[in-house]
Amino acid sequence: MDRREFLQTGVGAATTLGALHTGAYAAGKDTTLRVGLIGCGWYGKTDLFHLMQVAPVDVVGLCDVDQQAAQHAAELVAGRQPSGKQPPLFGDYRKLLSEQKPEIVLIGTPDHWHCLPMVEACKAGIDVYVQKPISYDVVEGQAMVAAARKYNRTVQVGLQRRSTPHLLEARDRYVRSGKLGKVAAIDIHSYYGGPREYAPVQAPPTTMDWEMYVGPADWRDYRPNIHPRAWRSCREFSNGQTGDLCVHLFDLVRFYFDLGWPNSIAATGGTFMRSADTNVNVHDTQTAIFDYDDLQIVWNQRNWGENPEPDYPWAVTLYGDKGTLKISVWQYTFIPRGGGSPVTVKAVEEREQYPEDVAHKETELFAAPATRAHMRNFLEARQEKKRPVADIEHGHISSAVCIMANLSMELGRGLVWDAEHGRVKNDDEANQRLARTYRGDWVHPTPDNV
C-alpha cells in the first residue's frame, strides 16, 4: 500500500489532523489572553480581529515602524475591546515583549521581519502566531523551529488553508474517499498581477522609521508606494509570489497527502516582461518542479497575458485517474473522468454571524471562517500542550521549499535536498546561500544560537 492509497482507505483518515478542526477550544470563565501585535498592516489587524472574535483578549501592545498605521490600529482595537482602551504603541518589538509581557504575540510584518521577533518571543516564553512564509531564507526557518522546540512554545503559522471548510470538505469527499483515484501530477498556478513600478526615491515621512523597516535586509531606499503592501515586489523584503502564493497551496497539497520534504527542487524563470531598468526586482515568470518520486508538483507563475482559468486564477489542480479536482480559496470543482456532471462547491462565508467582517473593509470574507478556525486550533493546541495543525515545522518545510525554488532559478540548476542534515547535496554555493548576510549589527539566528 503506497502513501496515497493509505490516505484514501479511511484507515489513515481516522488519525488525520482534520480531527483538530472541531472548535474544541474553550476559554475559562475568567480567562483573558494578553495579546500583542507586531505589524499593524492589513493582515496583522485582520488576524488580531479574528482572534478577538473567538477568545477574550486584552490587547496589551501594538508595534509598527509606521506610527500612523499603529495609531489607526489602536483606534480600531479600542472599538472592539470591552474596555474601550487604546493599547500602548511601540516602534521596536523588543520593547513590547519586555515591557508588556504578552502571553501571545501575532506577527504580521513583511516577510524579512518574521524571524527575529518570533525567536525573541519564544525566548521570552510567549506563544506565537506568525504569518507565512515564516522566513526570508532557509536557515531563518531552521532557527525558528529550533527556538519553538527549545523554549517549548506553541507556534501556529498563518497557513489557514489547512483550516478552510470547503478545502477540508474537498479533501475528504474526493481525495481520501478515493473518488479522485491515484494522483501523480498536481499543478499550482498564479496568473495574478502585472508589471509594477515604484515612485522615485524620496525621504521617508517623519512618522516612518525606515531604518528599522529595512532592518536586517539589504538596504533599499524608501519609495512611497513600497509601503504598505507593495513590498512583495522588493526582493530585499520578500520571495515574490513564490513565497506569497505558492506557499499557501503547496502547503495545502502537503496537508492533503501527508508530504514532507521533496527529493529535489528545480525551477526556471525570471523577469521576462518588465523593462531592464525597472525598479521592481522580483520575477514575473517561473516554473518549478517539486519531486516526490511518484508525485510531481509543478508551480507555474505567469503575471502577463490572458488568464486561461477565469474561475481559478490562483489555484491548484489535482489530476487523478478517476477525475480532476480544481481548488481555490473561493471554491472547488470536481470533474469526473469519462463524463458525468462537474460538482462545484463555493467557499463558506459567515458575514451574517460576524457583521464586523463586512464593516472592516480589509477583511477577506472568503478567508475569515478559515482564520477563525485556525485561531481556535492555535488556542486549543496551546491549552492542551500539543502541536497545532500548521505547526512551525510544517510552516518551515512549505516556506523553505518555495524559497529554494527561487534559489534554484537564480543558480540555474536543480537542488537535491538532504532533509536529515538540512542541506543541499553536493552544492557548496547553494548551501552558502541558505542564509543571507544580515545588515549592520543584526545577528542572523541559526539553530545553534537561538
Please report, for the domain that includes residue 140, its CATH number: 3.40.50.720
Same domain, 98 and 132: yes
Q: Which residue has the cell 489602536?
A: 74
Amino acid code (one letter) for 170: A
Instruction: Give the C-alpha distances (Å, rounded to integers) separating 115 from 215, 278, 383, 434.
Output: 12, 29, 24, 14
C-alpha cell at 376: 481556535
C-alpha cell at 418: 538532504
Same domain, 157 and 172: no
Instruction: Report yes or no on 401 lying in a domain.
Output: yes
Instruction: Report yes or no on 377 lying in a domain.
Output: no
Same domain, 186 and 321: yes
Does the predicted TM-score (pTM) go above 0.85? yes
Instruction: Report yes or no on 371 lying in a domain.
Output: no
Q: CATH number of the domain at 290, please.
A: 3.30.360.10
Which of 98, 56, 63 shows the shortest CA–CA distance to 81?
Answer: 56
Q: Angle 240-199-197 (CA atoms, 0-180°, nearest 5)?
A: 40
| DSSP classification of residue 232 | G
Per-residue pLDDT, 28: 58
Per-residue pLDDT, 196: 74
Same domain, 315 and 244: yes
| Domain count for the chain | 2
| DSSP classification of residue 215 | T
d(CA 398, CA 157) in angstroms, rounded, equals 11
C-alpha cell at 68: 500612523
Same domain, 240 and 117: no
Same domain, 172 and 111: no
Instruction: Report yes or no on 10 lying in a domain.
Output: no
d(CA 203, CA 302) in angstroms, rounded, equals 34
- List of the chain residues with pLDDT < 70: 1-30, 194-195, 276
Same domain, 30 and 118: yes
Per-residue pLDDT, 25: 65
Spell out the residues 6+ positions from residue 147 whose beta carbon is closer than 8 angstroms to its own: 118, 119, 122, 123, 153, 445, 450
Answer yes or no: are the C-beta atoms of 405 and 151 closer than 8 Å: no
Same domain, 180 and 84: no
Same domain, 149 and 169: no
Per-residue pLDDT, 9: 35
Instruction: Report yes or no on 446 lying in a domain.
Output: no
C-alpha cell at 424: 543541499
Range of the domain at 72: 21-161+385-391
3-state secondary structure of 384: helix
Same domain, 349 and 406: yes
Q: Where are the alpha helices (DSSP H) in 259-417?
A: 355-359, 368-384, 392-411
Angle between helices 392-411 and 247-257 (to 10 degrees): 120
Instruction: Report yes or no on 380 lying in a domain.
Output: no
Spell out the residues 6+ positions from residue 90 whose beta carbon is closer than 8 angstroms to its own: 61, 62, 63, 70, 96, 99
Same domain, 146 and 177: no
Same domain, 285 and 420: yes
Instruction: Report yes or no on 4 lying in a domain.
Output: no
d(CA 159, CA 398) in angstroms, rounded, equals 9
Instruction: Report yes or no on 370 lying in a domain.
Output: no
| Cα distance between the two ends of the chain | 41
What are the φ/ψ torsions at residue 432 (nearest 5 degrees)?
-65, -30
Per-residue pLDDT, 30: 56
Spell out the residues 6+ positions from residue 200 whose beta carbon is closer than 8 angstroms to its own: 223
3-state secondary structure of 220: coil
C-alpha cell at 427: 552544492
C-alpha cell at 389: 495543525
